[in-house]
Amino acid sequence: MTIDDSLHLQATDALSSYWQMACEFFPRLHKYSAPQLGFHLRGTAAGMAYLNEHRIALNLVLLKENTVAVLNDVVGHEVAHLCAYYVYGSRIKPHGAEWKHVMGLFGLPARARHSFDVSNTQRRKVWRHAYACNCTGKVFWLGAQRHSRIAKGHVYKCLKCHTSLHSMNQKTNEALPQRSIRSA
| DSSP H or E stretch at residue 20 | helix 5-25
What is the DSSP pairing of strand 36-38 with strand 55-58? parallel
Q: Is 24 a catalytic residue?
A: no
Residue 4's contacts (CB-CB under 8 Å, 6 or more residues apart) are none
The single residue of 24, 53, 65, 78 carrying the catalytic annotation is: 78
User: What is the Cα–Cα distance from 13 to 109, expressed in whole angstroms?
Assistant: 21
Bridge partners of 57, per DSSP, are: 38, 48
| Signed CA dihedral, 74, 175, 158, 144: sign only | negative
Asked if 90 and 51 touch (Cβ cutoff 8 Å), the reply is yes
Residue 135: CB partners within 8 Å, gap ≥ 6? 158, 160, 161, 163
- Catalytic residue numbers read 78
